[in-house]
Structure 1
Amino acid sequence: MRTAQVAWDTVTPGASHQLVLQDDVDAPDDFLDLVRRAVLRHPAEPLAFYAHWNSRNGAAVRLAALSGASWVRCLPEEFTPTQAICLPADMAGAFRQYANPSTDRRDDEVLSSYLRCIRRMSLVAVPNLVEHSGAESLCGNDSEGVRRSPCLVTSTGAVAALGHGWVLEDTVGLPYMRRGWAHARVAGPDGILGDRGHTAWQDALPYLGLDAEQMQRLVRTHRPRDLAEAVERWFGSHFTSEFWIYCLLLGRQARLLTRPSIPPSPEVRAAALATLGVSSLPPLERTRLTPDQGALLLEFTRSGLRGARYA
């Protein structure tokens, strides 16, 4: 937060917006032009151009990518990705004042706290435009290992939709993986949506319009046995079971949200699927993943999405 405060204090007088980049991101050559265009589309919004691939916001980016949305609203219960973020100048000034007395060293948590106060969480670009390039962390996140984008595409065609595509605002029902377990963003046992709690997929089924017997039938009927056995040999039975359920729930939510008149971009969809398996693994296993294992996880991912047609 101390380092971020220095950056946020450098706003140019008369500027309409302020863009802050962390020093360990890679961006395309035309990144500033893309930011300008995004600002013209959403002049009053905080805009993020990256999300952590194993966060709930990263899961929201994937859901948006599979649904055909070009932006997705950050979740209020999670940190705001600050690797590459742009705020309207007046909002940036208000955030500096809000952050001054904070003793929290995590700028992403402080920014989330501020945005919750003003009831305007940031929008994240789908696809992401920058990549996180390292594993080191000033705030102790080294144990998370490599922290990549869930959906990185910088080609002209893929990013064109940022200027006109639809915004996914409602992520109730969002499936995500957390520490090897499949979850869904629904009102938990305490009836609260938007706190720090996590709802296991089994407990989320009534909120998603599904039941345990139906899920068992889907697994039995539509999970390819040969693929599941191969994944199990490499990554264990627990991961195999939880990950396929996650893919099925993700595919189901995407089908419910997709607008027939605005189909998902094949390139953006492919980028989102390519990172889904590896980001769901424990940090150490991500670094050991071979190309053959990656291809196996991708095919297993696709089988879960196909199973969603019957859910």
Structure 2
Amino acid sequence: MVEANNTTVTLQVHRFTPRPERAERARGGSPFAKKSSPFGDGSDSAARRRPRGKQWVQEYTIPARPSDTVLDCLLTIKRTIDPTLAFRYSCGHGMCGSDAAAINGTPTLLCTATVRDWAKQPSTAPEVDDEGFRRTGDETANEPDVPAENVENNIPEGSLGVIELASLPGFPPQRDLIADIDPMLNQIRKLTPYLQADGVLATTAEGKVDVFEYLQNPEQLAKYETLSNCIACGVCEGACPVYAGGDAFVGPAALIWASRFINDSRDTKAMDRMDAIDTADGVAGCQSVRACSRHCPRGIDVGEEMWQIVAKVRER
């Protein structure tokens, strides 16, 4: 059954345009400036992580169907209304993780989020609950619609609602909905995210190379198979209230990648891997909030896996 395309949706996009970088001084410089840092070079300074520029919220109202994804809506805007709108995507099917952003304040993937699930009707409900906590998108999504006569600036008839978009929290914005996820990727790289076997070729009784050297049974495979589905999209990092660019906490994504190889029976560096994350900014930084589990696009219970790796490190 084909849906009629006589409805609209309004996207409120938090836009950002960075300020042009100043040209470097032609000569000279501060004699007191450090040439290098153990925590990274000058290009990874706080100035880079907190870019300055123009910020504003821009609304777009476009024709849309309930089954359309938020990515579909953005592509419509990009192609027909505003070619300057910047966002990132690749496969468009929830496999690459490149289009992670905040929808109604919740980190998730643009290509898997539908208008039906995320469009909100205007509500007179307070933004803070009775206990003083800020209300989240999930809490307001299940509330009954408020009659039009009780709402100021009511959305026009035929509108599916409003969707608020912003770049992924926890990372510095680069432009509009594009966040700089390099801090997360750098943390993953530091933990050697690849198999490290002993390098010794097993041989058969006849002296030939044993092609089944790394054969695993189902139980061994099950220990890390789910973790291998991580696509490093950054959704868990954006949801984590402790993570902020990887400076004070390595972040759940890096720990998931470390856990994937720690649980691999073929890897011979499990103890070294656990030593690497047994630091103040490693497993000790996890506060077990479990917000990282809420919207993993690959179905990983990140909070549970974090608890498991923390327990394993402490018990070794």
Where on the TM-score scale, by shorter chain, does this alignment land: which range? under 0.3
Whose relative contact order is higher, 1 or 2, with alpha carbons under 8 Å and at least 6 apart?
A: 1
The structure number with the bigger radius of gyration is 2
Give TM-score, length-normalised by structure 1.
Answer: 0.25
Larger helix share, 1 or 2? 1
Give TM-score, length-normalised by structure 2.
Answer: 0.24
